[in-house]
């Protein structure tokens, strides 16, 4: 994977969306939560087998599943077999919070070792790689895989080479490569659009947000650079999640030049897809009278082109995650009004919603498009 995650602690969550998504993918193999959402976004019992109100309806009582063991063999034994949660929020919000990896059940040893109950335990974790080993006593039974090795900080070209040389079984895939690989019958797995490509303007340039949004030809970026993958958008959350993304304008209508307006843009230099999009954005902006050039050296960029990963399947908590990652507080309002306010507050210009894609080797079996690696196995070629 491209991201590098420096620790496994669920209490220390990265603000960067790419690192956050990577940490979630890895740590959910190791640490489990009371509740888990299925592929359709419905809450399912996990370490808690059921939940109900107390008699006074002031608390939620989550009944612990029996026979759950940590990776050192010790039993998970909540007091009286029940976890008590104050009923100070709607149950839907409580379940969303409990399903997030930050709420995972963790046992912290005196030597600093973190123990979970998941299907895999941590065997090694350093700056470049993670090795996970099967948890023999997992409450759902031992996973099929003996171990998983994850290489971090690896560019897409490195990943492709590793797959082709047989050194990797699953690699990340850029959205603009999906169409060509499908035509070659390569084994790929593609999610719904869960990643937002967006521009974020510096505070002193936020007044140019609407002008810049109108200047960008999203249609051309979608058709030429992305090979028609993903969706054009003016919203932070995708339509399938929020239901109202179509209300945000994607109109392409350059306005007359703004007086004394020029911008510098920056993006992850290792991300070739962002580089191509940034070049097209700069061209569109310059043609519309907003001269834009790449930020150089230590120069503070006035526009950042980012990937923002959507977490979860509920609009409100997904917006909270985005707001936290962008370093702002989220106002209390309806999801639509909250997103509208968030876009204006951070000077965001959403451009596209993209799926996340993986390419698989021929020996991978039962990959379901999610990181439920306890259900995956590999076959040796004859």
The pLDDT tens digits along the chain (382 residues) read 998 998 999 988 887 777 888 899 999 999 999 999 876 677 899 999 999 998 888 999 999 999 999 999 999 999 999 999 998 888 888 888 898 888 999 998 777 789 999 999 999 999 899 999 999 999 999 999 999 999 999 988 999 999 999 999 999 999 899 999 999 999 999 999 999 999 999 999 999 999 999 999 999 999 999 999 999 999 999 999 999 999 999 999 988 877 667 899 999 887 889 999 999 999 999 998 899 999 987 788 999 999 998 877 778 878 887 887 788 877 778 889 999 999 999 999 999 999 999 999 999 999 987 788 999 999 986 5
227-262 exposure pattern, b = at least 16 Cβ within 10 A, e = fewer: eebbbbbbbbbbbebbebbeebebebebeeeeeebe
d(CA 11, CA 157) in angstroms, rounded, equals 33
Element (H, E) at 49: strand 48-53
Within 8 A by CB and 6+ apart from 54, the residues are 60, 61
Please report the pLDDT score of residue 310 as a whole number: 82
Q: Tokens representing 140?
A: 């759902």
The domain total for the chain is: 1
CATH code at position 273: 3.10.105.10
d(CA 334, CA 195) in angstroms, rounded, equals 22
Within 8 A by CB and 6+ apart from 167, the residues are none
Whether the CB-CB separation of 367 and 173 falls below 8 Å is answered with no
- The sign of the dihedral angle between the CA atoms of 102, 103, 105, 107 is positive
DSSP 247: G
Q: What is the DSSP string of 7-65?
A: ---TTS--SSHHHHHHHHHHHTTT---SEEE-TTS-EEESSEEEEEE-TTSSEEEEEEP
d(CA 196, CA 245) in angstroms, rounded, equals 12
Residue at 28 is within a domain: no
Place of tokens 């995956």: 376
54-78 exposure pattern, b = at least 16 Cβ within 10 A, e = fewer: eeeeebbbbbbbeebbbbeeeebeb
Residue at 83 is within a domain: no
Whether the CB-CB separation of 345 and 322 falls below 8 Å is answered with no
Task: Tell me which residue range forms the domain holding 262.
Answer: 191-357
Place of tokens 């009278």: 289
User: What's the chain's Rg over C-alpha atoms?
Assistant: 22
Please report the pLDDT score of residue 19 as a whole number: 84
State how far the alpha carbon of 290 is from the alpha carbons of 225, 261, 266, 293, in Å. Answer: 22, 6, 16, 10
d(CA 266, CA 353) in angstroms, rounded, equals 20
Please report the pLDDT score of residue 382 as a whole number: 55
Whether the CB-CB separation of 323 and 129 falls below 8 Å is answered with no
Whether the CB-CB separation of 200 and 346 falls below 8 Å is answered with yes
DSSP 254: P
d(CA 342, CA 315) in angstroms, rounded, equals 13
Whether the CB-CB separation of 320 and 147 falls below 8 Å is answered with no
Please report the pLDDT score of residue 43 as a whole number: 83
Q: For the chain, report the end-to-end CA distance as a whole number of angstroms.
A: 28
Please report the pLDDT score of residue 96 as a whole number: 81
Model pTM greater than 0.75?
yes
Q: CA neighbours within 13 Å on the CB side: how many for 25? A: 22
Residue at 244 is within a domain: yes
Residue at 230 is within a domain: yes
* Paired residues of 293 in beta bridges: 264
Residue at 210 is within a domain: yes
Whether the CB-CB separation of 139 and 70 falls below 8 Å is answered with no
Residue at 150 is within a domain: no
């Amino acid at each position: 994977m491209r991201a590098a995650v420096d620790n496994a602690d669920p209490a220390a969550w990265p603000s960067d969306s790419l690192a956050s998504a990577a940490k979630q993918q890895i740590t959910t193999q190791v640490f489990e939560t009371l509740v888990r959402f299925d592929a359709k976004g419905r809450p399912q019992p996990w370490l808690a087998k059921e939940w109900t109100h107390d008699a006074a309806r002031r608390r939620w009582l989550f009944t612990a599943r029996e026979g759950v063991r940590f990776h050192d063999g010790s039993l998970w034994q909540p007091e009286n077999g029940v976890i008590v949660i104050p009923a100070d929020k709607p149950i839907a919000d409580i379940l969303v919070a409990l399903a997030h990896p930050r709420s995972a059940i963790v046992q912290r040893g005196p030597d600093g070792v973190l123990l979970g109950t998941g299907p895999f335990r941590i065997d090694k974790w350093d700056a470049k790689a993670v090795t996970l080993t099967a948890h023999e006593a997992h409450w759902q039974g031992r996973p099929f895989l003996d171990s998983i090795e994850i290489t971090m900080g690896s560019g897409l070209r490195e990943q492709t080479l590793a797959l082709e040389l047989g050194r990797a079984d699953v690699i990340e895939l850029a959205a603009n490569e999906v169409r060509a690989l499908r035509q070659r019958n390569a084994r790929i797995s593609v999610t719904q659009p869960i990643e937002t490509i967006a521009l974020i303007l510096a505070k002193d340039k936020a007044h140019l947000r609407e002008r810049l949004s109108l200047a960008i030809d999203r249609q051309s970026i979608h058709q030429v650079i992305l090979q028609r993958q993903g969706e054009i958008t003016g919203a932070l959350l995708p339509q399938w999640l929020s239901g109202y993304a179509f209300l945000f304008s994607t109109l392409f209508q350059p306005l007359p030049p703004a007086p004394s307006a020029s911008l510098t843009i920056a993006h992850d230099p290792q991300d070739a897809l962002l580089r191509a999009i940034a070049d097209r954005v700069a061209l569109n902006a310059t043609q519309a009278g907003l001269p834009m050039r790449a930020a150089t050296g230590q120069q503070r960029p006035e526009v950042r082109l980012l990937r923002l990963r959507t977490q979860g399947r509920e609009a409100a908590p997904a917006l909270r995650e985005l707001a936290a990652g962008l370093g702002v507080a989220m106002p209390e309002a309806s999801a639509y009004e909250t997103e509208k306010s968030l876009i204006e507050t951070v000077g965001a210009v959403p451009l596209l919603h993209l799926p996340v894609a993986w390419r698989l080797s021929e020996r991978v079996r039962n990959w379901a498009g999610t990181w439920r690696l306890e259900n995956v196995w590999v076959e040796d070629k004859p």
